[in-house]
Amino acid sequence: MKRKKQIVRNIILIALTVLLFLWQGGYHLTPEGVFRSAEKAEWLGPTPEVMELGTSDDGCLRFVGIEQKGFYVVSAKPCLGIFWKYTNEHWGGYFPVKVKTRAWVSEDIIVGQTRETDAVEVVCVVEKWKSEENDWQEVGHYTIPVGENGFFSMALDSYMPRTMDYGVKEVICKNAAGEVIGKDSQ
């Protein structure tokens, strides 16, 4: 009987050690758990609304937490088969929206938020820094639908290289009739 007690005790100790390792290592069973943990670590939230932005090229699942005065992007990477782990590879930080409409190019997506209540779509004018000319040059106009919460996002064209040289020059808000109801230059 003494041997059985030792086996049970050792199994419990091993299980507790594994749980402590997973807890200290930042491993979670769900990507949403990763998002909530990252929120606490960055002193943000808890946000009332969380949306999934999609998966990046390296397999990281990106989430966005939407607040009244801005939003933030968090990524979770699958690891060890069934676990998810926080990664700051795609951490864009907190994006404050202090004007009516604001947008950013974050790696391979355009993300933004508008406070125009009648806006159903936005047109983002994206530009790239040309070091040879020492000036910005427009590279595209992207029409993006706006959600009920004012948030909008869109994956960039696959032919655009992933550099920090891109920015949003202007955001044009349109209503359901297609009329321009607001412009914000950045």
Please state, rounded to an integer, the average pLDDT across all residues of the chain: 80
Tell me if 135 sits within 8 A of 80, measured CB to CB.
no
Q: How distant is the alpha carbon of residue 182 from its chain centre?
A: 25
Q: Is residue 161 predicted with pLDDT exceeding 60?
A: no
In terms of domains, do 76 and 113 share one? no
CA atoms of 65 and 94, how far apart (whole Å): 9
Instruction: For residue 24, give the 3-state DSSP assignment.
Output: helix
CA atoms of 45 and 127, how far apart (whole Å): 32
Query: What pLDDT was estimated at residue 79?
Result: 85
In terms of domains, do 82 and 152 share one? no
Counting the structural domains of the chain, the total is 2
pTM for this model (two decimals): 0.71
Instruction: Evaluate whether residue 18 is within a structural domain.
Output: no
Instruction: Evaluate whether residue 104 is within a structural domain.
Output: yes
In terms of domains, do 86 and 146 share one? no
Q: Is residue 88 predicted with pLDDT exceeding 80?
A: no
Tell me if 172 sits within 8 A of 103, measured CB to CB.
no
**Residue 78 or residue 1, greater confidence:** 78
Instruction: Evaluate whether residue 130 is within a structural domain.
Output: yes
In the chain, the percentage of residues whose pLDDT exceeds 70 is 91
E strands in 45-134 = 49-55, 61-67, 70-79, 83-87, 93-96, 101-106, 109-114, 121-130
Query: What pLDDT was estimated at residue 37?
Result: 81
Q: What share of the chain is helix, strand, coil (3-state, %, to 5)?
A: 20, 45, 30
Instruction: Evaluate whether residue 64 is within a structural domain.
Output: yes
Query: What pLDDT was estimated at residue 8?
Result: 93
In terms of domains, do 104 and 164 share one? yes
First-to-final CA distance of the chain: 74
CA atoms of 40 and 83, how far apart (whole Å): 19
In terms of domains, do 66 and 102 share one? no
Q: Is residue 14 predicted with pLDDT exceeding 80?
A: yes
- Give φ, ψ of 134 to 5 degrees: 55, 45
